[in-house]
A = this chain, B = another copy of it.
Amino acid sequence: MLEELKEKVYKANMLLPKYHLVTFTWGNVSGIDREKGLFVIKPSGVDYDKLSPEDMVVVDLLGNKVEGRYNPSSDTATHVVLYNRFKNIGGIVHTHSTWATSWAQAGRDIPCYGTTHADYLYGSVPCVRNLTKKEIDEDYEKNTGILIADEFVRRNKDYEATPAVLCKNHGPFTWGKDAKDAVHNAVVLEEVAKMAARSEWINPNEKEAPQELQDKHYYRKHGKNAYYGQRDIKVMV
């Protein structure tokens, strides 16, 4: 079942080592079929070298495994919550990519210091608080998802405009319109995290980019007045 989606999610998983976002098995990508209410995710702890499309695991939106010879990613419950709460997303990525994880460990939001950030991620990338001991003991992975979704509500942030989050002392999650787009955002986040850190070290008094510059770049690429890229012509990017 879902053979086409499995193939896409497999390929999106294989982009993680290609873009140097994972060491060993430290990452996972999923993609959803919204009509069927099922998503496909990497199996837990299986090495990227050994992975094949048929190893992908099918899970429903209650978190039940529907098909697959392997256990799904240990972070599956987080994906379940995010698909339920963020209705318009089609793919989710979790990695321990080094610069984004360094910010997560530092427990800080990533400020928008430039147009590279503004082109893809509207405003700062939020870093959510640590889960309490009770939340961890009760259901760690599920509560991670709830915390992320609640944080976007609490801050009144649009999850489609800012498709990335940092979990304190843990690492990043990104999402997108499909699995591949979520990986694209994971690559962007890593680049942005790297340059934000270096910019602060070069200028400790650094300020966020002016709001009008952030808006210009974000809306140059997104929304009805966008003019970046090829609007009338099909181009693979």
Contact = CB atoms under 8 A, between A and B. Distances in A.
Interface of A: 23-26, 43-47, 50, 69-71, 74, 96, 98-99, 101-108, 113-116, 130-131, 133, 136-137, 140, 169-171, 184, 187-188, 191, 194-203, 206-207, 209-210, 212-213, 216, 220, 227-231, 233, 235-237
A197 B197 contact: no
A230 B55 CA distance: 12
A105 B137 CA distance: 38
19 contacts: A24-B184, A45-B229, A45-B235, A47-B235, A50-B236, A69-B233, A70-B235, A96-B116, A99-B198, A103-B199, A105-B113, A105-B114, A105-B196, A106-B202, A108-B203, A115-B169, A115-B170, A136-B216, A197-B201
Q: How many copies does the complex hold?
A: 4
Contacts of A195: 98, 101-102, 105
Nearest to A43: B230
Max chain B C-beta neighbours (<10 A), residue from A114, A188, A191: A114
Given A26-B116, A50-B236, A105-B206, A74 B227 contact: yes
Contacts of A231: 71
Contacts of A237: 24-25, 45-47
Given A98-B195, A106-B200, 13 more contacts: A24-B237, A43-B230, A47-B236, A70-B230, A70-B233, A96-B115, A105-B114, A106-B203, A114-B170, A114-B171, A130-B213, A133-B210, A136-B213
Contacts of A203: 106-108
A201 to B, nearest CB: 7
Nearest to A202: B106
A34 B137 CA distance: 39
Nearest to A233: B70
A51 to B, nearest CB: 11
A213 B105 CA distance: 12
Given A101-B116, A105-B113, A195-B98, A228 B170 contact: no
